[in-house]
């Protein structure tokens, strides 16, 4: 069982892909239990018409499969599996453990998750029990065992889908079982109470522990809780959830050897566990993605999510397990997708390595919390634009089957460490405007607009394949990561760091001496004081570097060269942007929040120095990304603007059959996938 998280690289054994379908997977969640059986036949006929070849079933069906404890009913599922298999539609079989039945909650009230404030959550919704509840573990593995025994060698099941989105809506739980499991986890991590006291800095505010049973989960207290304790509780929770996954996965593997097992991630979601550890345990990385509908740059955020997913998958093909055909129902304003957006979104995931395009869900629910959520088959039926676009997408994916298995190569990596985000988000930071997500999006967007492909990497991972590594937000740097980053730059890497990085170690403790502790000598500077800015305050930078907001610092350079200085504001005349030669490499530092244009100039300088900025900049709104095999290149040109766009490319558009020599023309709102054999792109 994984007790200490391994977070650097995906599993070394190559993941199996699905035995079927032959081409790219297309389909979605299918919840036919909400409909009379006559509808099932109609659904399956419509699925065939749309080219759907894979559906996820059974995800919320625990009470139907086990109406009373240890009494089972598989008749309906047998029938459904028969219909799907006869129609040639493969099954991604869910375990239903994200929604225990009412009998479970009645019989085992102690398994209810408890919030940090001490409130036990009620039933009548969905969401797992406490991740550390022994009653839940027993019930979850037992229904999984029944399913795996019955369908482990069923010819229709090509994939197992454990649970649903671990971490949402239940993650941290403060119930008694969790507190006991937390103590065990801490014993394994620290060995002795002395070490725990030291790691948590318990001499501060007199928190020192004398006995293990004095240690509690960091529930709401009179003032700010111990921050190292909170961080450890987040690590513990990620691991506790992962243990739940592994327990079910191992049951399935016993009965369904060789059939891949996965669970659906929410890659960039703030509720997520530490997916670097999780991606080692799933056979195939699968992700759910929903647009932040209100944002007009939501396609850029989609790309970021997809690039992170590909990176979690170790650049092997991955599955888009869920997205939406139109509006969702759970955002503030649920903006509908406009014509063509469904295809652009789907193909952007494919461009970034997905070999499966799945939606939530096939047929829209008439009742329940999600009745206003879009679906492949809307309430209004087949006479709708959405259904027509679903049919068109099925055609497009069919034409793209040769893309399957190809990979994406990136020369730039952005460091992504959820532990650092967890720590940074705790209370009493120097400014409430510090926002790791905002900075990562800003740096990512600059590269996206340039058509520069980006991977994400854990700071402890092997970075030697990247010419440029960016740390837009790396507040926490543990010992291993510090040594790794040092080695990367020393060995000739180019490293660009944004402010409030390298501030604490793995225990949320400031390393001895000036900030940024772990990065001091790599960057060749010391920070003597943080100088957060007032709301709306702007500081000017010298040498045409623009202006900054949110943050400034009193920087004292050692070996670093000053690229730009603060002209005014609290750090006036001090360094604002620096560059340092370290070993055979170079490290840049940006100490304020530059707006997009000014940031682009710095990022492109660093990219240029790393020898990267060779591709022509795409016209505004044109997404450019290439998947390759040893013999072929597939360049996806996704035009998110209304205007026609041109881009240098030669080859044949797999979607339209058009041949291009030197320049491809992509009409506004559409997608071209230019196929060119190696040597001819
Ligand atoms: C999540 C869940 C689905 C559904 C969708 C709706 O991704 O996994 O069951 O609730 O959200 O957007």
Assess if residue 101 is contained within a domain: no
**Using CA positions, which residue lies closest to atom 3 of ligand 1?**
360
pTM: 0.97
Assess if residue 492 is contained within a domain: yes
Assess if residue 158 is contained within a domain: no
On whether both 539 and 653 belong to a single domain, the answer is no
What residue numbers bound the domain in which 630 lies?
622-677
**C-beta of 452 in contact with ligand 1 (< 6 A):** no
For the CA atoms of 218, 222, 225, 226, the dihedral, rounded to the nearest 10 degrees, stands at: -110
| 654 CA → ligand 1 middle, Å | 32
| 451 CA → ligand 1 middle, Å | 31
Q: How do residues 478-505 score in pLDDT, each as one tens digit?
A: 999 999 999 999 999 999 999 999 999 9
Active site residue 71: no
Q: Which atom of ligand 1 is nearest to the CA of 290?
A: 12
Q: How do residues 581-616 score in pLDDT, each as one tens digit?
A: 999 999 999 999 998 899 999 999 999 999 997 678
**Using CA positions, which residue lies closest to atom 4 of ligand 1?**
360
- The secondary element (H helix, E strand) that includes residue 40 is helix 37-50
**C-beta of 672 in contact with ligand 1 (< 6 A):** no
| 325 CA → ligand 1 middle, Å | 13
Residue pair 572/548 in contact by the 8 Å Cβ criterion:
no
Residue pair 126/100 in contact by the 8 Å Cβ criterion:
no
Give the chain's mean pLDDT. 96
Structural domain ending residue among the three candidates 609, 631, 666: 609
pLDDT band at 2 (very low <50, low <70, confident <90, very high): very low
On whether both 546 and 489 belong to a single domain, the answer is yes
Rounded to whole angstroms, the Cα distance separating 546 from 563 reads: 12
Rounded to whole angstroms, the Cα distance separating 157 from 109 reads: 34
- The secondary element (H helix, E strand) that includes residue 632 is strand 632-639
pLDDT band at 470 (very low <50, low <70, confident <90, very high): very high
Assess if residue 430 is contained within a domain: yes
Q: With 70 as the cut, is the pLDDT of residue 681 above it?
A: no
**C-beta of 288 in contact with ligand 1 (< 6 A):** yes
Residue pair 416/457 in contact by the 8 Å Cβ criterion:
yes
SS3 227: helix
SS3 398: helix
pLDDT band at 15 (very low <50, low <70, confident <90, very high): low
| 29 CA → ligand 1 middle, Å | 9
Q: With 60 as the cut, is the pLDDT of residue 28 above it?
A: yes
Rounded to whole angstroms, the Cα distance separating 566 from 564 reads: 7
Catalytic residue (one of 66, 172, 281, 322): 322
Rounded to whole angstroms, the Cα distance separating 612 from 639 reads: 23
pLDDT band at 12 (very low <50, low <70, confident <90, very high): very low
Choice between 494 and 270, residue whose per-residue pLDDT is larger: 494
Q: How many domains in the chain?
A: 2
What pLDDT sits at residue 3? 41
Active site residue 322: yes
On whether both 456 and 427 belong to a single domain, the answer is yes
Structural domain ending residue among the three candidates 585, 609, 633: 609
**Using CA positions, which residue lies closest to atom 7 of ligand 1?**
288
On whether both 605 and 630 belong to a single domain, the answer is no
Q: Which atom of ligand 1 is nearest to the CA of 164?
A: 8
**C-beta of 183 in contact with ligand 1 (< 6 A):** no
Q: Which atom of ligand 1 is nearest to the CA of 369?
A: 10
Residue pair 284/318 in contact by the 8 Å Cβ criterion:
yes
Assess if residue 311 is contained within a domain: no
| 91 CA → ligand 1 middle, Å | 18
What pLDDT sits at residue 679? 65
On whether both 637 and 580 belong to a single domain, the answer is no
Assess if residue 427 is contained within a domain: yes
Structural domain ending residue among the three candidates 582, 609, 636: 609
Please name the residues in contact with 584: beta carbons below 8 A apart, sequence gap of 6 or more: 490, 491, 492
């Amino acid at each position: 069982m994984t007790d200490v998280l391994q977070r650097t690289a995906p599993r070394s054994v190559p993941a199996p892909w699905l035995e079927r379908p032959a081409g790219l997977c297309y389909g979605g969640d299918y919840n036919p239990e909400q409909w009379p059986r006559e509808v099932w036949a109609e659904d399956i006929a419509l699925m065939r018409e749309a080219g759907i070849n894979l559906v996820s079933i059974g995800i919320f069906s625990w009470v139907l499969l086990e109406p009373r404890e240890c009494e089972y009913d598989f008749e309906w599922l047998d029938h459904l599996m028969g219909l799907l298999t006869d129609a040639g539609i493969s099954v991604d079989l869910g375990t239903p453990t994200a929604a225990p039945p009412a009998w479970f909650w009645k019989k085992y009230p102690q398994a209810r998750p408890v919030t940090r404030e001490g409130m036990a959550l009620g039933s009548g919704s969905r969401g797992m029990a406490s991740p550390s509840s022994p009653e839940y573990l027993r019930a979850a593995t037992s229904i999984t065992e029944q399913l795996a025994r019955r369908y482990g060698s069923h010819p229709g099941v090509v994939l197992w889908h454990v649970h649903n989105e671990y971490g949402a809506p239940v993650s941290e739980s403060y119930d008694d079982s969790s507190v006991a499991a937390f103590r065990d986890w801490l014993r394994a991590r620290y060995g002795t109470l002395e070490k725990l006291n030291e790691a948590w800095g318990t001499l501060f505010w007199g928190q020192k522990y004398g006995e293990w049973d004095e240690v509690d989960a960091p529930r709401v207290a009179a003032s700010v809780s111990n921050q190292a304790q909170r961080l450890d509780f987040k690590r513990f929770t990620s691991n506790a959830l992962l243990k739940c996954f592994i327990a079910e996965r191992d049951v399935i593997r016993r009965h369904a050897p060789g059939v891949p097992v996965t669970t659906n991630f929410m890659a960039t979601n703030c509720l997520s566990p530490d997916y670097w550890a999780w991606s080692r345990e799933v056979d195939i990385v699968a992700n759910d993605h929903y647009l932040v509908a209100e944002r007009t740059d939501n396609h850029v955020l989609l790309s970021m999510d997809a690039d992170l997913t590909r990176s979690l998958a170790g650049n092997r093909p991955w599955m888009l397990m869920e997205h939406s055909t139109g509006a969702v129902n759970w955002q503030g304003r649920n903006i509908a997708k406009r014509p063509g957006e469904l295809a652009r979104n789907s193909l952007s995931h494919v461009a970034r390595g997905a070999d499966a395009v799945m939606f939530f869900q096939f047929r829209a629910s008439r009742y329940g919390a999600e009745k206003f959520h879009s679906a492949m088959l809307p309430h209004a039926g087949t006479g709708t634009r959405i259904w027509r676009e679903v049919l068109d997408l099925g055609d497009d994916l069919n034409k793209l089957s040769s893309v399957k298995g190809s990979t994406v190569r990136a020369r730039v990596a952005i460091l992504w460490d959820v532990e650092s985000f967890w720590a940074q988000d705790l209370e009493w930071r120097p400014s409430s405007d510090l926002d790791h997500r905002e900075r990562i999006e800003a740096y990512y967007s600059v590269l996206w607009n340039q058509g520069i492909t980006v991977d994400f990497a854990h700071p402890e991972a092997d970075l030697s394949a990247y010419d440029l590594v960016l740390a837009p937000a790396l507040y926490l740097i543990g010992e291993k990561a510090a040594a790794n980053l040092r080695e990367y730059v020393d060995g000739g890497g180019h490293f660009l760091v944004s402010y409030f990085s390298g501030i604490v170690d793995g225990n949320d403790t400031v390393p001895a001496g000036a900030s940024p502790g772990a990065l001091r000598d790599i960057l060749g500077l010391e920070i003597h004081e943080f100088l957060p800015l007032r709301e709306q305050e702007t500081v000017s930078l010298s040498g045409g570097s623009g202006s900054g907001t949110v943050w400034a610092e009193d920087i004292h350079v050692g070996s670093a060269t000053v690229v730009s200085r603060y002209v005014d504001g609290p750090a006036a005349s001090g360094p604002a942007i620096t560059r340092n030669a370290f070993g055979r490499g170079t490290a840049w530092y940006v100490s304020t929040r530059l707006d997009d244009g000014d940031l682009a100039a710095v990022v492109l300088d660093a990219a240029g120095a790393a020898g990267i900025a060779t591709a022509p900049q795409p016209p505004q709104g044109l997404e450019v990304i290439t998947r390759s095999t040893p013999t072929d290149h597939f360049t996806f040109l996704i035009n998110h603007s209304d205007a026609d766009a041109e881009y240098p490319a030669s080859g044949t558009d797999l979607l339209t059959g058009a041949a291009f020599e030197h320049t491809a023309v992509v009409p506004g709102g559409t997608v071209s996938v230019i196929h060119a054999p190696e040597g001819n792109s």
